Amino acid sequence: MNTLPDHLAPALGAMSGHDANPWVQSAPGNAFKPLRFLAGDRGFVELMRLDPGIRIPLHRHTGEVHAFTLSGRRQLGTGEVIGPGHYVHEPVGNTDSWATYGDEPVTIFLVVTGEVHYLDVEGRVTRRISAATQRAAYLEDCRLHGRRPLNLESE
C-alpha cells in the first residue's frame, strides 16, 4: 500500500482553510491556489485549475511530483485519460506533456518538489517554475488585489 510522504501532511491540513486563499491566474485558462511552500524552496503544494482545451506543454521535473485529480479529466502524454480520484506519481527527471480532456475544468492537487522546466522542441529550457516563482506570483497577486498574504511557509 502506498503511503503519503511526510511533507504532504501540512499541506493537507492547509486545504481545510483553502477558501481564504485566492486563485492566482498564471496564464489564460490556467490558475493555481498555493497551499504550502516547502522549507528551503524544496518545492510547493497547490491546487491547479485548468479550463477545457488547455494543454500543458512539454516539461521536465527536477524532483518528484504527486498529482491527484479532484475534478475533470485530463489526457496524459501516453494517451491515457484519467479523471477524479486518479493519482499520478512523476519521478525525478520525468518529461511529459498533457491536456485537459472534455468540456469541464480540471482541478488537481499537486505536490511538486524541485523545479519544473518547460522545454522547447529542441529540449532547451524556456521557463522554470519553482517554489520561489510560485511564491512571487502569489505575493504579487495579493499586492495587486489588496489582499494580505497568508503564511504558507512550511517549517
pLDDT band for position 21 (50/70/90)?
A: confident
56 within 8 A of 97, measured Cβ to Cβ: yes
Instruction: Return the CATH number at 60.
Output: 2.60.120.10
Which pLDDT does position 3 carry in this prediction?
40
58 within 8 A of 91, measured Cβ to Cβ: no
By three-state DSSP, how is residue 130 classified?
coil
- Gap between the Cα atoms of 33 and 59, Å rounded: 20
For residue 135, is it within any domain?
A: no
- Gap between the Cα atoms of 95 and 37, Å rounded: 23
Q: Judge whether residue 16 has pLDDT over 50.
A: no
For residue 109, is it within any domain?
A: yes
pLDDT tens, residue by residue, 141-153: 999 999 999 999 9
For residue 59, is it within any domain?
A: yes
| Mean pLDDT score of the chain | 90
- Gap between the Cα atoms of 31 and 43, Å rounded: 18
For the chain, the domain total comes to 1
> In terms of Cα–Cα distance, which of 43, 60, 129, 69 is closest to 96?
60
For residue 81, is it within any domain?
A: yes
Q: How far apart are the first and last CA of the chain?
A: 28
> In terms of Cα–Cα distance, which of 5, 42, 13 is closest to 135?
42
Which pLDDT does position 48 carry in this prediction?
97
For residue 60, is it within any domain?
A: yes
Q: Domain of 53?
A: 44-129
pLDDT band for position 47 (50/70/90)?
A: very high
Which pLDDT does position 38 carry in this prediction?
96
- Gap between the Cα atoms of 104 and 87, Å rounded: 19
Tell me what the mean pLDDT of segment 116-136 comes to: 96
pLDDT tens, residue by residue, 86-108: 999 999 999 999 999 999 999 99
For residue 49, is it within any domain?
A: yes
For residue 136, is it within any domain?
A: no
pLDDT tens, residue by residue, 28-40: 999 999 999 999 9
- Model pTM? 0.86
Backbone angles phi, psi at 141, to 5 degrees: -65, -45
Backbone angles phi, psi at 49, to 5 degrees: -125, 130
For residue 123, is it within any domain?
A: yes
